[in-house]
Chain A
């Protein structure tokens, strides 16, 4: 049957398959399909840069045009992964430069990117079009200058929320005068002022520019100059949204926004002066995505602005919106898909705003399409969670952070097991869950029983025993990523479910009760897992085997143990375990 279609027909059919899952499935049908597919796969996604080596990728897929790589584990975002852990992109760039001269796109997340890497990218790929660096670090504006200067057909430069050493804003002036290809530019994370003239000219000569996210240093008074030159913008990130209150600044701004008929997304708003929010009223009804999470505006100006955006689908906002604001949101934005509420003062023990579980309940009940939630608050109840679960069985991502660790249901003082249990039981399509508050092993039993589509789970300060971990590992069939901190989970559950770990991308456990001995055993038992112990206080074998390790990162890999580990990371494999014990033996002499 496979023989009856000529290769080029199959290749043509495969060209309609864009999802990795589909391409992977197709490549398993038979050897000839595997061969045809691998020759025509153009986009590669590698969720863990250490799961595979560049050589293996290149050997299998000889003609790739787009590569996406992720490096550090998610908890690196919260400073749980020590500096120098890894995630270096340079070796990848070297190999990719040799193998794929026609590479067009590189997207990186949580990786260490050096100026050397950026320079190599800019000089190796003649048709380079897209560079996306999300939450990356290690480069300076000099690296950006190379990209600007050498990538003739650059379409997209997105610096995400990366940590860039900002030497000067001069790099932007390196875009040659004949560069007119930009479609998307995001420099919002940069501190230095870029030459406004250069920016203005760049924007003016790129007729296809759809996304422009400015950095804070771009003054509000100058924003109209850019908007007038780019009325076709679909997404705008403002610079600082503050200026002396002057009517001419306001009217220029309002007029400029009036001209932006395609605008659908807004972000930026640093140092927002609420008096200038009405300048955007003309675009509000078309706005589908609004990121006010850096805007320290308060009610009533804040909620008044948000309520104007009746077609809003995605809202990121600070808790200054308060319960009252969320109730107004629920009444006016019926198309809302995603809500993220961030804490304005995360380290204050007392609430500085009137934002409670009520706000989330109101939005869940009022917005029928709500499927993605990230919510920081200071109190929660089982009743509220049950109400949310019942209103929104279509929930896909639910991340709740109650600021005080182990906080119980504030009404009954009970654990929040029932509430989260209701979430996993009712929301059958749930793919991502982050929990907080007081939780016992019971909640994990509910999760193991019901959360069959759950792919990513984040747990902190929860559970009573290994049974909790065991429920999750044995019950969650679709689990890919599990990250745990400060939970009393230990060796038993981990070793009993060792084979499960090979079906997942990764497992992170920090400040738990996993012993060094168990880590060694896991490493020995499972050769296709890298079991990495992170101990900053000293080698794990300097104490007894029963001593818990500080942090554990386990991931499946076909590349073997990595070779770029810093001094505080040990891989538990047969060689390392025995060399460690040799050292201990010598010490015992």
Chain B
């Protein structure tokens, strides 16, 4: 099945598109630390996080912490469940909406496409043994779990963030 036609082109680490994005990330960062360019090119600035000035804007840490805590919670309650995805070795993270996928194979395929890596097939005994990479996630209790162990619906409600680990590191998780 040729999925290239339906493939989401989002710019990946290692490809030409991603090079452009990465360099604009660096450029925008430099700009904001120099302080002042309000006439910044929309295209360049859209993806880059702003360099933060200490104590600005003047919002008390107490307030910042309370809002951050709540926003983390609401991110998972509202429909459209965006979680951060990191991959070992990649310079920046991505975000995906896991509610878009119906099952594990769909999710894994999307991740493989997004990060141009191979994670192989899940097996209950061996995990993703033999693959270059393995998908893991942080659950509500803060523990790092192997993707695929629990039923899909349970995974969707308990997944807080994803991390694509190097296969060699993920071995420990698979063996439990």
| Residues of chain B contacted by A78 (CB below 8 angstroms) | 54-56, 58-60
Q: Type the 1/0 row for B61-100, where 1 means its CB is closer than 8 Å to any CB of A.
A: 1111011001101100000000000000000000000000
Task: Check: B172 CB closer than 8 A to any chain A CB.
Answer: no
Are A296 and B56 closer than 8 Å at their CB atoms?
Answer: no
Known contacts A79-B54, A349-B45; A270/B66 CB under 8 A:
yes
Q: A271 vs B36: C-alpha distance in the bound complex, in angstroms?
A: 36
Task: Check: B50 CB closer than 8 A to any chain A CB.
Answer: yes
| Supplied contacts A135-B62, A294-B70, A347-B50, 15 more A-B pairs, CB within 8 Å | A78-B59, A80-B54, A161-B62, A161-B63, A271-B70, A271-B73, A294-B66, A296-B67, A296-B71, A344-B67, A347-B52, A376-B57, A404-B38, A405-B36, A406-B38
Closest to B52 in A: A347
Are A401 and B58 closer than 8 Å at their CB atoms?
Answer: yes
Q: A405 vs B51: C-alpha distance in the bound complex, in angstroms?
A: 12
Known contacts A346-B64, A408-B38; A75/B55 CB under 8 A:
yes
Task: Check: A165 CB closer than 8 A to any chain B CB.
Answer: no
A356 nearest CB across to chain B (Å) = 16
Cross-chain contact of B56 among A408, A434, A460 (Cβ < 8 A): A460
Chain A interface mostly: loop
Q: Type the 1/0 row for A9-26, where 1 means its CB is closer than 8 Å to any CB of B.
A: 000000000000000000
Interface size class of A (residues with CB under 8 A): 20 to 34
Q: A135 vs B64: C-alpha distance in the bound complex, in angstroms?
A: 14
Q: Type the 1/0 row for A59-86, where 1 means its CB is closer than 8 Å to any CB of B.
A: 0000000000000000101111000000
For B56, B60, B73, the residue with the greatest tally of chain A CB atoms inside 10 Å of its CB is B56
Q: Type the 1/0 row for A272-292, where 1 means its CB is closer than 8 Å to any CB of B.
A: 000000000000000000000
Task: Check: A293 CB closer than 8 A to any chain B CB.
Answer: yes
B85 nearest CB across to chain A (Å) = 20
Q: A407 vs B61: C-alpha distance in the bound complex, in angstroms?
A: 24
| Residues of chain A contacted by B67 (CB below 8 angstroms) | 294, 296, 344
Task: Check: B151 CB closer than 8 A to any chain A CB.
Answer: no
For A346, A348, A434, A460, the residue with the greatest tally of chain B CB atoms inside 10 Å of its CB is A346
Q: How many A-B residue pairs have CB under 8 A?
A: 69
Closest to B54 in A: A79
Cross-chain contact of B55 among A80, A135, A161 (Cβ < 8 A): A80
Nearest 9 A/B pairs, CB to CB:
A78-B55, A161-B62, A80-B55, A78-B58, A349-B50, A346-B57, A77-B60, A403-B57, A346-B59
| Residues of chain B contacted by A353 (CB below 8 angstroms) | none
A239 nearest CB across to chain B (Å) = 13
Q: A77 vs B54: C-alpha distance in the bound complex, in angstroms?
A: 11
B113 nearest CB across to chain A (Å) = 27
Known contacts A347-B50, A349-B45, A405-B53; A77/B58 CB under 8 A:
yes
Q: A77 vs B61: C-alpha distance in the bound complex, in angstroms?
A: 7
Are B57 and A401 closer than 8 Å at their CB atoms?
Answer: yes
B48 nearest CB across to chain A (Å) = 9
Q: A460 vs B53: C-alpha distance in the bound complex, in angstroms?
A: 12
B6-32: which residues lie under 8 A (CB-CB) from chain A? Answer: none
Closest to B61 in A: A79
Interface size class of B (residues with CB under 8 A): 20 to 34
B173 nearest CB across to chain A (Å) = 31
CB-defined A-B contacts under 8 Å, sample of 15: A78-B55, A78-B56, A79-B54, A79-B61, A135-B62, A293-B63, A342-B63, A343-B59, A349-B50, A376-B59, A403-B57, A404-B38, A405-B53, A406-B36, A460-B58
Q: A421 vs B38: C-alpha distance in the bound complex, in angstroms?
A: 23
Known contacts A75-B55, A80-B54, A296-B71; A161/B64 CB under 8 A:
no
A4-51: which residues lie under 8 A (CB-CB) from chain B? Answer: none
B62 nearest CB across to chain A (Å) = 5
A537 nearest CB across to chain B (Å) = 14
Cross-chain contact of A406 among B35, B52, B55, B66 (Cβ < 8 A): B35
Q: Type the 1/0 row for A443-486, where 1 means its CB is closer than 8 Å to any CB of B.
A: 00000000000000000100000000000000000000000010
B52 nearest CB across to chain A (Å) = 6
Q: A401 vs B55: C-alpha distance in the bound complex, in angstroms?
A: 13
Q: Type the 1/0 row for B34-54, where 1 means its CB is closer than 8 Å to any CB of A.
A: 011010000001000110111
Known contacts A270-B70, A271-B70; A405/B35 CB under 8 A:
yes
Q: A376 vs B56: C-alpha distance in the bound complex, in angstroms?
A: 12
| Residues of chain B contacted by A270 (CB below 8 angstroms) | 66, 70
| Residues of chain B contacted by A296 (CB below 8 angstroms) | 67, 70-71, 74
Task: Check: A351 CB closer than 8 A to any chain B CB.
Answer: no
Task: Check: A365 CB closer than 8 A to any chain B CB.
Answer: no
Closest to A410 in B: B38
B79 nearest CB across to chain A (Å) = 14
Closest to B63 in A: A342
Task: Check: A163 CB closer than 8 A to any chain B CB.
Answer: yes
| Residues of chain B contacted by A344 (CB below 8 angstroms) | 67
Q: A62 vs B10: C-alpha distance in the bound complex, in angstroms?
A: 73
Cross-chain contact of B59 among A189, A294, A342, A406 (Cβ < 8 A): A342
Q: A344 vs B56: C-alpha distance in the bound complex, in angstroms?
A: 14
Closest to B64 in A: A346
| Residues of chain B contacted by A271 (CB below 8 angstroms) | 70, 73-74
| Residues of chain A contacted by B38 (CB below 8 angstroms) | 404, 406-408
